[in-house]
Structure 1
């Protein structure tokens, strides 16, 4: 009895796998059909670009101003909303985050330059750079 049940279970599992794969393919086809010139996309390699034109099997993407490349349609991983693309490419703040806080944080970061040197007296730092030798380690 169990010998008859095992093949039926395997067939059911295979059917479910093929069905989910078919759904994924249909979703990918719908997503790629939504591409039109001006859309922002992400490739399977993680590159963000703007769609310049859509051909039958390929798509022309502008990866930098004036730099247009050709990709096969299946290389497009996602078609992005205009707001999402703008936020990723231009580093715009999220809609729920006020722009003033971001500007204040940037001003604070610009006010105090970062240094990789440990806190040492100024005369030790100057001596090392003046005569070409590294400052003495503590």
Structure 2
């Protein structure tokens, strides 16, 4: 057999070996990280939820997702074990680098209006709503003495055939 014919297969087998080896290393590193969890450690699940470890079982871990709220997760669902400083910065907002760039939105929309006096005037004249022009033109009304037959041929207004 020709070496040129076998070369692509050799490259493919070598690439598969390297990919499985690197994937296996990642799995071992993740398992080692999960084995270093202790109660009180902050974690992030693979779904992106931050919680505190409460209990560790063989295949499960009990997480406190909110004060007094516990949930049981598979150990494989833990995506990262976080350092205390990082967990507190993310969850509790502690740290010097935390700044709020977005404005604070009030609970009701009344304070969002620009002209507060206009709101008071609108409340006083609540019964007098201005008429709106919706762009509909008045159609000429038919004369009552006009005894012509309707377009559909029906005198009673029903649609259909004669």
Fold similarity call, TM over 0.5: yes
Q: Which of these residues, 62, 65, 76, is aligned with residue 74 of structure 1? A: 76
1:128 to 109, 117, 122: 122
CA drift at 1:59? 0.4
1:36 aligns with 2:30: no
Alpha-carbon distance in structure 2 between the residues aligned to 1:32 and 1:92: 25
Matched residue of 1:77: which SS?
strand
Q: Is the partner of 1:88 in helix, strand or coil? A: helix
User: Do residues 6 (structure 1) and 8 (structure 2) align?
Assistant: yes
Residue matched to 1:59: 61
Instruction: Give me the TM-score of the superposition, normalised by structure 2.
Output: 0.65
Q: Write out the 4+ residue segments of structure 1 that deviate beyond 3 Å after TM superposition.
A: 113-117, 128-133
Q: Is 1:27 the equivalent of 2:21?
A: no
- Give 1:124 shift: 1.9
TM-score by length of 1: 0.75
- Work out which structure has the larger RCO, using CA pairs closer than 8 Å and 6 or more positions apart in sequence: 1
How far, CA to CA, are the matches of 2:14 and 2:124 in structure 1?
77
- CA RMSD after TM alignment: 2.9
Which whole-Å CA distance do the structure 1 matches of 2:35 and 2:124 have between them?
Answer: 64
Aligned to 2:159: none
Structure richer in helix, relative to its length: 1
Look up the match of 2:148.
none
Output aligned runs, 1:91-102, within 5 Å.
Answer: 91-94=93-96, 97=97
Flag the 1:129–1:4 CA change in 2: closer, same or farther, 3 A. Answer: farther
**What SS does the aligned partner of 1:93 have?**
coil
Deviation at 1:130, TM superposition (A): 5.0
